[in-house]
């Protein structure tokens, strides 16, 4: 058991593992999977803060429970950008994204049906954590290709410098840990 960071968010407290990212920096791992109580609380609090919207777009996989729960609470659909092209997709739209939590450049795909569903709608982009902003930029690129009207960018946590951003809505900041 390594170092922990005590996070306070949406009226709850959780101890996050601090994981080395490289020689100079560590990050606190925020994982909503398995934690329904946290997912419900974060969805409720985020929905109080976001602007009016028609539909949501999130990215595989960590955004799924949050977007699902927000959709369940507010009755507005969520759509999922996938990291691989799937057999069921017809004519998917594709953008590239570089992540700080995995080593590779990732690619996001959105199915033609989902592109149609967000076209011309007021779209809220949703993710668990905004850090470098790369994932959010990839969602934006998908949304723009689809002709959606981006009305907001929402995340549970804003990591590092992202906490200074004026163009996002979030619940708590998450520090980076420098050696």
Position among 102, 164, 167, 178 found at the interface with a second copy (CB under 8 A): 102
Position among 42, 46, 53, 82 found at the interface with a second copy (CB under 8 A): 82
DSSP for residue 119: T
Piece of the chain touching a second copy by CB under 8 A; list 86-94, 121-129, 140-148, 168-176: 86-94
Helix (H, G, I), strand (E, B) or coil at 63: coil
Q: Is the dihedral of CA 47, 48, 51, 54 positive or negative?
A: positive
Instruction: Compute CA 147 distance to the chain's CA centroid, rounded to the nearest angstrom.
Output: 20
The C-alpha angle with vertex 166 and arms to 173 and 153, in degrees rounded to 5, equals 80
Encoding tokens for residue 38?
A: 């946290």
Position among 7, 71, 115, 125 found at the interface with a second copy (CB under 8 A): 71
Question: Per CB under 8 A, does 134 bind a second copy?
Answer: no
Q: Name the residues that contact a second copy, by CB under 8 A.
A: 2, 17, 19, 21, 27, 29, 31, 33-34, 36, 39-40, 60-61, 64-65, 68-69, 71-72, 77-80, 82, 84, 86-88, 90, 101-102, 114, 117
């Amino acid at each position: 058991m390594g170092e922990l960071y005590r996070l306070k968010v949406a009226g709850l407290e959780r101890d996050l593992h601090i994981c080395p990212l490289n020689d100079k920096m560590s990050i606190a791992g925020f994982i909503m999977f398995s934690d329904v109580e946290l997912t419900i609380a974060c969805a409720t609090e985020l929905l109080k803060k976001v602007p009016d919207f028609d539909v949501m777009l999130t990215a595989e996989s960590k955004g799924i429970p949050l977007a699902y729960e927000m959709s369940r609470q507010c009755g507005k659909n969520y759509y999922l950008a996938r990291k691989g092209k799937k057999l069921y997709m017809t004519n998917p739209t594709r953008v590239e994204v570089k992540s700080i939590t995995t080593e590779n450049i990732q690619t996001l795909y959105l199915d033609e049906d989902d592109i149609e569903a967000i076209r011309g709608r007021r779209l809220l982009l949703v993710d668990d954590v905004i850090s470098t902003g790369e994932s959010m930029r990839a969602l934006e690129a998908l949304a723009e290709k689809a002709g959606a009207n981006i009305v907001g960018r929402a995340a549970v946590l804003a990591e590092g410098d992202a906490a200074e951003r004026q163009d996002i809505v979030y619940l708590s900041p998450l520090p980076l840990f420098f050696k």
